[in-house]
Chains A and B, each alone.
Chain A
Amino acid sequence: MESQEIGKNPVVQKLKDWDAKAVAEVIEFRGETTVVVPQSHLLRTAEYLATEPTLRFTFLSDITTVDRFPIEPRFELNYELLSLERQQRLRLRVRLPGSEASAPSVTSVWPTANWHERENFDLFGVRFTGHPDLTRILLPDEWEGHPLRKDYPVEGFR
């Protein structure tokens, strides 16, 4: 399970062969591979990873945002993918600027993304274009602000 040499992961190689522009950066840490994808390529890459017969990342475990405030691009979206047949995990990452925190919705590829994207919208204010029902999920509808952002105080605004 120790980390492989950077870029030697066969999935990454396959992605690069498919479209070199879809892989902006590859990060290896503690045996986990993260592929940074440009925002404009996210939906295409997601479709490819889920449907390509030799990859079959059909299971989306999670979508998580990390707020790097005040560093720009501020938001990092992490998609935890899982291939049940090949028993392998992969993380896709998209970086979004604070001025335009918006990513294409992947609900068409993985229906489970529906609630995950609503949660990220609710707590971080990241918008997902093409989402069927982008409303708050954990907080009340009239809540102001997005509490998991780093510029939102832990004790809330008073």
Chain B
Amino acid sequence: MIETPAGPAEPMVLNMGPQHPSTHGVLRVILELDGEIVLKAKPVIGYLHTGIEKSCESKTYSQCITLTDRIDYLAPLSNNLGFCLAAERLIGIEVPKRAQYIRVLLTELTRITSHLVWLGTHAIDLGAMSVFLYSFREREEIMKIYEYVSGQRMMTSYFRIGGLALEPPPDWLDRVRRVIDSLPAHIDEYEDLLTQNRIWMARTKGVGYLSPEDAIAMGVSGPLLRASGVAYDIRKVFPYSSYDEFDFKVQTQTAGDCFARYQVRIAEIRESIKIVRQAMEKIPSEGPFRAVVPGVIPPSREEMKTSIEGLIYHFKIFTEGFAAPPGEVYQAIESPRGELGVFMASDGSAKPYRVKFRTPSFVNLQSLPKLCEGRLIADVVACIGTTDIVLGEVDR
């Protein structure tokens, strides 16, 4: 017989990650365990830190846009939008309505693709393999729209300061309509697979509870906050890019667990489809796709070739950039993951003096110990999945 020593057992320390399939990148969590129970969880981050904020300080405003794509690589257009809006606010540019509606349409498609990736990977973490295959099939159709409009599937850099990079192809809205019309049936499919699924419910219901008070104290935003019953959505509270002209509901749940967050995200996909439909109605077929501000926004191709001022401005903008008035702005948008804030300080030169990206993943990840402490080790996987972090965005 094996004798076991008397007295309290020491907790076991287990390293989860940084190389672990269900940490969605290179997240490391140091777990202190008592048997199967998590006593303490400590996220360790920084493995993907690339110094994007420092790089921005040595680039002109327009050059920074390509870097923003790479922060949250599942929602590059949301990052583009946050950065462009901040720069436009700093300089004081009014963007034409047509460009604003196109921006709304594309960022809502981004929200759908981002939530689809979340749904697929979260389901695969919890053992439901097939949802992943379906959701990536639909995501691919939307990625084809990005490619058709901007020439790139992922790192589009399609939004520029003052409007868009280029005029979208004439029949692009037909493609959007085709994809959007097929989506609701697919969402029903995912719900058939998951919502009433007993294993899915057992793995998510009551798991990872976050109270509204804790959520606010931890600065949590996005679907996480709304699943805890706080109806904070920047699109409604501080509307940007003409979101106040769109009719949509802020989706909330009160349970505050993983299942509630699943419900919120599914409902948000359906709301986004509604917004995309409205945007398709609103977008005029003709009109400027970027503002006209000589010396700040590049002139049209035609003007650059035919007028001497146009040529000079074109040359100056792409070699030296443009000077922004000194001052600081903070522009927040509702990215698929929550409050994406861009703090921009200018000293009056052509390069931003300081750019700070307040990324939702970074802040939301801080609540991970609150979600999984006191629960089983298997629930840690569910809790990481449900916070919907992108490590590129956490580490920047």
Contacts and interface: CB of A to CB of B under 8 A. Distances in A.
A148 B341 CA distance: 18
B219 A137 contact: no
A154 B396 CA distance: 15
B216 interface: yes
A70 B341 CA distance: 27
A61 B329 contact: no
Interface in A127-156: 136-140, 147-148, 154
A23 to B, nearest CB: 18
Contacts of A148: 53-54
B89 interface: yes
Chain B interface residue bracket vs A: 35 or more
Contacts of B219: 59-61, 110, 112
Interface of B is mostly: mixed
Contact of B330 (A60, A89, A137): A89
B215 to A, nearest CB: 10
B55 A154 contact: yes
A3 to B, nearest CB: 11
A9 to B, nearest CB: 16
Contacts of A154: 54-55, 57-58
Contacts of A30: 89-90, 92, 327, 329
A45 interface: no
Interface stretch (B2-10, B256-264, B354-362): B354-362
Given A112-B219, A140-B46, A147-B54, 20 more contacts: A29-B327, A30-B89, A30-B92, A58-B217, A62-B341, A62-B358, A66-B353, A80-B330, A87-B237, A91-B328, A91-B330, A110-B217, A111-B218, A112-B218, A112-B366, A115-B363, A116-B363, A138-B395, A154-B55, A154-B58
Interface of B: 45-46, 49, 51, 53-55, 57-58, 89-90, 92, 216-220, 230, 232, 237-238, 327-330, 332, 339, 341, 343, 345, 353-354, 356, 358, 362-363, 366, 395-396
Q: Which 6 A-B pairs have CB atoms at the shortest separation, nearest pair first?
A: A112-B219, A62-B358, A138-B46, A29-B327, A64-B356, A138-B49
